[in-house]
Homo-oligomer: A and B are copies of this chain.
Amino acid sequence: MRNIRKGTGESRRGKETILLILNSAKTILIEQGYSKLSMRKVAVGAEISVGNLQYYYPSKNDLLKDLLDHSIDEFMNEFERLRVGVNNDPELHLRSIINFIVLDLGNPTTTTFYPELWALANHDEYADKLMDQIYARVRLPLEDCITRINPKLSVEQVKKVALFISASMEGMTMFVGNGKVWNDSIKQMANIAIMSFLQMVKKITPEDIDKVL
């Protein structure tokens, strides 16, 4: 028999409890990894009872779902702020996006949270769809800049270049992230990324992308 979620968390008190829960869950996920994430640990971390946790999240999967949504929202909100004060110069805009994303990798939360998400996405459909959404959203302004800098590329080609740039930056997470060996070099890595991507976007031709060797 399945429990029905009763805790809507619409009252002030309910919302506060939900925040305690999500913060606790996120802390555990980041510090110990998904394999160590349990309902009891989350309850202890949030300083509430297991029963209370179940009132808001009847199943562990419900909690995970909301945890992912919540964590993603935080990044998205920061990312949206980039839009404000967006420069009309596509090259400058591209620089600022790259700089923002690479430097964000130094954030301890980002460093550990995203690899967990990627691993999760390999076996959890919801995490997989969420990933698609986030990165599609990140690619949008990239695609806009690329189109304006290099108008010769087709829509499909622009999408692939944007994917390449976005994926490349994500790959640095495991190396220059917080606490990682190359963390000291994060500034230089951002420099290399900006120089490399900018040069590439300017010079790349449709034939470079679609040629068959």
Contact = CB atoms under 8 A, between A and B. Distances in A.
Interface of A: 31-36, 111-112, 115-116, 118-123, 131-132, 135, 160-161, 163-164, 167-176, 181-182, 185, 187-189, 191-193, 195-197, 199-200, 203-204, 208-212
A119 to B, nearest CB: 4
Given A33-B120, A119-B119, A131-B174, A189 B163 contact: yes
Tell me whether chain A's interface is mostly helix, strand or loop, or mixed.
Answer: helix
B208 A204 contact: no
A192 B208 contact: yes
Most chain B Cβ neighbours within 10 Å, of A172, A191, A204, A212: A191
17 contacts: A33-B120, A115-B115, A115-B121, A118-B173, A160-B185, A160-B192, A163-B185, A164-B192, A167-B174, A167-B175, A167-B189, A171-B171, A171-B173, A188-B209, A195-B208, A196-B197, A199-B203
